[in-house]
């Protein structure tokens, strides 16, 4: 039941009316209804893993209360470690066990030693990386005395398993989300309209741009030996746009559906392709994950290493970004991706520009040549690193890079790329992407690009714009693709 399916839309319409018109008697009943709906939603995907989600929630609910009650430092530490072990243990077992076994096998085999542990056939429970990070955050915040645990199990379960954000985030912190579950919510018309706008924009990004890009990127990546370097480079640019529209489109929908329920969910993207250096990019991309890692990995590390000045900062950032790579899954390519991104911070740390916030021109103003150049170079750097997300393994990514760079200036390369652009109307998609980027540029001061787009126009013109988006979604929908970030 993905957000873009008719099943989900049917589910949500029924939910919406019951939520606001039947179960709005009091906040407790409304919360219970959200919880039941979240369980139904999750069970639609795989009911077996619902037990895992419930089990993990029960453990952390009681753990939070025991931790708060305990005044003995040793007991507190023990309970916190237990919470971490439970969360990370789950992740390790489902996400990383096979990777470690295989890596150890290869390592021992290279020394001629047989390592007799077998891999197991495990399916990754959907959303586990997201809800586990929520439970860990809850325990660590209580340990740091930043929040008090909730005594209402319905509220806690809703924090862990809130269905709009359950499968792919954004990952909310307990301090911002739990209070919203505790107070009475009311439906605001303007907020509802704005939420629908955000959902519409999310649909457009996912169905029109990401799913159409997928057709071409699948073709290029599946048959990359048959294409010249310049077409492979085009494939990477298209994939970066696809990944962004897929994941930020999902996030827009998740935030939009939450807003229709009266919740403010944390922002996940802030126009990352307008970033002017790598640090700026990571402040704008998958914000809820990076702020989670900043809070619980980078900050303690950089505090512990503060006596080593710049070297300490470099170590903290490289470890943080490498872990960010590993979060995506058990593959060497993700580890490499995170490590490389960490290393890209080094020049900024060494020349002291890391703290300098990069500003973008206000309103409708165009960027300066320097800003444009910085944006293009940063975007290209990011684009080049994304091959690891699309390739099936590290070796394939390396081969892709090798063929791309060696074939960039080969004979007829650009003629072939031009012909590829004419294939199956790719050129039409490229023009749509360029218009999309322009809309994103003019809407970059909002929470999402079309939040204020056309707000000063006459009503008919604004509605014509929304209708155009709907027609695009209906007539130019790409072949349905699973959301990329579901597998993480």
Partner 1 sequence: MEKLEILDIINSIFIDVLENPEIKLTEDTHAGMIEEWDSLTHVQLVVAVEKKFKIRFTSKEIQSWKNIGEMVDSVMEKIAK
Give 20: exposed, middle or buried? Use CB within 10 Å, 0-12, 13-18, 19+: middle
Nearer to partner 1, 114 or 355 (CB): 355
Q: Is residue 353 involved in binding partner 1 (CB under 8 A)?
A: no
State the Cα–Cα distance between residues 350 and 345, nearest whole angstrom.
Answer: 9
Catalytic residue among 228, 286, 328, 341: 328
Residue tagged 């809407």 (tokens): 443
Nearer to partner 1, 152 or 295 (CB): 295
Residue 92 makes CB contacts below 8 A (sequence gap 6+) with 100
Candidates 84-92, 141-149, 243-251, 449-457 — which segment interacts with partner 1 by CB under 8 A? 141-149
Specify the 3-state DSSP secondary structure of 338: helix
Question: Contact, 271 vs 440, CB < 8 A?
Answer: yes
Q: Is residue 88 involved in binding partner 1 (CB under 8 A)?
A: no
Q: Is residue 362 involved in binding partner 1 (CB under 8 A)?
A: no
Nearer to partner 1, 255 or 316 (CB): 316
Candidates 165-173, 215-223, 292-300, 445-453 — which segment interacts with partner 1 by CB under 8 A? 292-300
Peptide bond into 170 cis (omega under 30): yes
Nearer to partner 1, 209 or 321 (CB): 321
Q: Is residue 354 involved in binding partner 1 (CB under 8 A)?
A: yes
Helices within 189-277 (DSSP H only): 189-203, 211-222, 229-260
DSSP conformation letters of 91-110? HIIIIIHHHHHHHHHHHHHH
Nearer to partner 1, 73 or 479 (CB): 73
State the Cα–Cα distance between residues 49 and 43, nearest whole angstrom.
Answer: 8
Nearer to partner 1, 48 or 144 (CB): 144
Candidates 142-150, 323-331, 363-371, 400-408 — which segment interacts with partner 1 by CB under 8 A? 142-150
State whether the Cα torsion 360-366-370-375 is positive or negative.
Answer: positive
Nearer to partner 1, 26 or 355 (CB): 355
Candidates 35-43, 122-130, 330-338, 353-361 — which segment interacts with partner 1 by CB under 8 A? 353-361
Scan residues 21-80 and list those touching partner 1 (CB under 8 A). none
Residue 366 makes CB contacts below 8 A (sequence gap 6+) with none
Residue tagged 């809850």 (tokens): 138
**Is residue 328 flagged as an active site residue?**
yes
**Degrees (nearest 5) of the Cα angle 69, 75, 80?**
85
State the Cα–Cα distance between residues 471 and 203, nearest whole angstrom.
Answer: 12
Candidates 139-147, 152-160, 192-200, 218-226 — which segment interacts with partner 1 by CB under 8 A? 139-147
State the Cα–Cα distance between residues 71 and 67, nearest whole angstrom.
Answer: 8
Scan residues 155-174 and list those touching partner 1 (CB under 8 A). none
Q: How far is the CB of 165 from partner 1 (least distance, A)?
A: 21
Among 24, 218, 294, 371, binds partner 1 (CB under 8 A): 294
Judged by CB under 8 A, the number of residues near partner 1 is 16
Residue 476 makes CB contacts below 8 A (sequence gap 6+) with 208, 212, 432
Q: Is residue 303 involved in binding partner 1 (CB under 8 A)?
A: yes
State the Cα–Cα distance between residues 247 and 249, nearest whole angstrom.
Answer: 5
Q: Is residue 357 involved in binding partner 1 (CB under 8 A)?
A: yes
**Degrees (nearest 5) of the Cα angle 59, 64, 67?**
115
Q: Is residue 351 involved in binding partner 1 (CB under 8 A)?
A: no
Q: How far is the CB of 62 from partner 1 (least distance, A)?
A: 23
Candidates 94-102, 143-151, 270-278, 376-384 — which segment interacts with partner 1 by CB under 8 A? 143-151
301-to-315, 318, 352, 433 alpha-carbon distances in Å: 9, 11, 20, 40
Among 75, 306, 419, 480, binds partner 1 (CB under 8 A): 306
Q: Is residue 270 involved in binding partner 1 (CB under 8 A)?
A: no
Q: How far is the CB of 307 from partner 1 (least distance, A)?
A: 8
Q: How far is the CB of 388 from partner 1 (least distance, A)?
A: 26
Q: How far is the CB of 443 from partner 1 (least distance, A)?
A: 21
Q: Is residue 186 involved in binding partner 1 (CB under 8 A)?
A: no
Q: Is residue 304 involved in binding partner 1 (CB under 8 A)?
A: yes
Residue 143 makes CB contacts below 8 A (sequence gap 6+) with 67, 76, 80
Nearer to partner 1, 78 or 437 (CB): 78
Known catalytic residues?
328
**Binding residues vs partner 1 (CB under 8 A):** 144-146, 294-295, 298-300, 302-304, 306, 313, 354-355, 357
């Amino acid at each position: 039941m993905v957000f873009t399916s008719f099943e989900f839309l049917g589910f949500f319409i029924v939910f919406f009316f019951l939520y606001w018109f039947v179960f709005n008697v009091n906040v407790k009943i409304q919360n219970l209804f959200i919880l039941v709906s979240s369980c139904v939603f999750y069970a639609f995907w795989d009911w077996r893993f619902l037990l895992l989600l419930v089990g993990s929630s029960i453990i952390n609910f009681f753990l939070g209360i025991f931790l708060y009650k305990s005044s003995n430092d040793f007991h507190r530490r023990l309970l916190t470690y237990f919470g971490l072990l439970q969360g990370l243990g789950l992740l390790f077992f489902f996400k990383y066990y096979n990777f470690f076994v295989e890596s150890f096998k290869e390592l021992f085999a290279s020394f001629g030693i047989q390592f007799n542990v077998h891999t197991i056939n495990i399916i990754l429970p959907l959303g586990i990386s997201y809800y586990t990070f929520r439970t860990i955050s809850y325990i660590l915040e209580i340990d740091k005395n930043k929040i008090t645990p909730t005594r209402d199990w319905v509220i806690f379960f809703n924090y862990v398993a809130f269905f709009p954000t359950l499968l792919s985030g954004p990952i909310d912190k307990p301090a911002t989300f739990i209070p919203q579950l505790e107070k009475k919510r009311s439906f605001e018309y303007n907020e509802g309209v704005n939420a629908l706008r955000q959902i519409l924009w999310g649909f457009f990004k996912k169905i029109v741009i990401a799913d159409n890009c997928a057709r071409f990127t699948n073709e290029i990546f599946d048959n990359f030996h048959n294409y010249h370097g310049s077409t492979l480079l085009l494939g990477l640019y298209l994939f970066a746009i696809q990944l962004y529209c897929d994941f930020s489109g999902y996030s827009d929908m998740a935030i939009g559906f939450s807003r229709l329920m009266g919740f403010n969910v944390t922002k996940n993207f802030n126009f990352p392709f307008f970033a002017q250096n790598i640090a700026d990019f990571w402040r704008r991309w998958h914000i809820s994950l990076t702020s989670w890692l900043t809070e619980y990995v980078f900050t303690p590390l950089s505090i512990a290493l503060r006596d080593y000045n710049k070297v300490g900062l470099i170590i903290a950032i490289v470890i943080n970004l490498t872990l960010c790579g590993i979060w995506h899954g058990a593959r060497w390519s993700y580890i490499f991706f995170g490590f490389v991104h960490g290393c890209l911070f080094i020049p900024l740390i060494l020349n002291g520009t890391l703290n300098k916030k990069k500003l973008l021109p206000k309103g409708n103003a165009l960027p300066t040549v320097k800003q444009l150049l910085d944006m293009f170079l940063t975007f290209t750097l990011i684009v080049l690193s994304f091959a690891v997300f699309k390739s099936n393994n590290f070796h394939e990514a390396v081969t892709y890079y090798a063929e791309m760079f060696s074939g960039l200036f080969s004979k007829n390369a650009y003629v072939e790329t031009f012909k590829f652009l004419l294939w199956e109307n790719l050129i039409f998609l490229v023009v749509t992407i360029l218009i999309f980027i322009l809309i994103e540029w003019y809407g970059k001061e909002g929470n999402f690009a079309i939040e204020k787009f056309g707000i000063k126009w006459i009503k008919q013109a604004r509605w014509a714009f929304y209708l155009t988006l709907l027609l695009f979604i209906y007539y130019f929908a790409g072949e349905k693709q699973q959301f990329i970030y579901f597998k993480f």
